[in-house]
């Protein structure tokens, strides 16, 4: 086969892949649909939330530690393998995968919709915690905070951690 013709056909294959991918991504947005978010002020600060925190707000390690000491539940949005290697002590395991096909994570049965929840992933560019926060808001948990530094700085700071499978929701 002439090399030129092979390159042209290769380009056609890539073009078809990109076109199919573009159409698919347009038809199926990945992030939770913001326009469909329930109205209301679940995330706005109130007198009972003197910290002035809002849903989806990023917090630093110090604030997360303060909330942990106050008994605020934590949710780990990373892959199961990462959770098993090490997680914030007592953290629930809640990932975007668990919201697929109309299902909700089993851990939600153990969480209070009026309570703040601190969500974390690996930190840096990781957006899993933001995605989980949006999914949680869609099912009524409108008080989620993002521990922006992620798990590793938490562990390196010597804060409580644990290893092993999640008690709730493990496959």
Partner 1 sequence: MAERVRAWGLVCLGARVVLGGLFIFAGVLKLMNPLHFKQAIMAFKMGMPDHLTVLATFTFPWTEIIAGALLVLGWWARPAAGVIAAMLFAFITAMASVMLRGIDTHCSCFGKLEFPCGSSVGWCQIVRNSVLLVLVGIVLGRGAGSLALQREPRD
Among the listed ranges 48-56, 64-72, 123-131, 161-169, the one in contact with partner 1 (CB under 8 A) is: 123-131
38 binds partner 1 (CB under 8 A): no
In the chain, what is the straight-line distance between the N-terminal and C-terminal CA atoms, in Å? 50
Q: Which is nearer to partner 1, 9 or 115 (CB)?
A: 9
Minimum distance, C-beta of residue 18 to partner 1, in the bound complex (Å): 5
Pairing of β 92-93 and β 117-120: unpaired
57 binds partner 1 (CB under 8 A): no
65 binds partner 1 (CB under 8 A): no
Closest CA to 99 of 139, 143, 146: 139
Instruction: List the beta bridge partners of residue 88.
Output: 161
Cα(120)–Cα(108) distance, integer angstroms: 16
Which residues are at the interface with partner 1 (CB under 8 A)? 1, 6-7, 9-10, 12-14, 16-18, 20-22, 24-25, 28, 30, 79, 81-82, 96-97, 100, 122, 124-128, 131
């Amino acid at each position: 086969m002439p090399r030129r013709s092979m390159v042209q056909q290769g380009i056609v294959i890539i073009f078809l892949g990109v076109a199919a991918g573009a159409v698919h991504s347009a038809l199926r947005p990945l992030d939770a649909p913001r326009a469909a978010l329930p109205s209301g002020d679940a995330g706005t600060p109130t007198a009972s939330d003197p910290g002035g925190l809002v849903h989806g707000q990023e917090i630093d390690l110090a604030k997360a530690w303060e909330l942990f000491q106050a008994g605020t539940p934590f949710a780990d949005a990373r892959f199961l393998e990462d959770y098993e290697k090490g997680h914030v002590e007592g953290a629930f395991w809640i990932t975007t995968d668990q919201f697929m096909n109309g299902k909700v994570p089993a851990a939600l049965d153990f969480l209070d919709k009026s309570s703040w929840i601190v969500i974390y992933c690996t930190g840096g560019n990781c957006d899993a915690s933001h995605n989980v926060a949006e999914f949680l808001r869609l099912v009524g948990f409108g008080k989620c905070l993002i521990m922006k530094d992620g798990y590793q700085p938490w562990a390196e700071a010597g804060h409580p951690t644990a290893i092993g499978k999640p008690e709730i929701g493990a496959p």
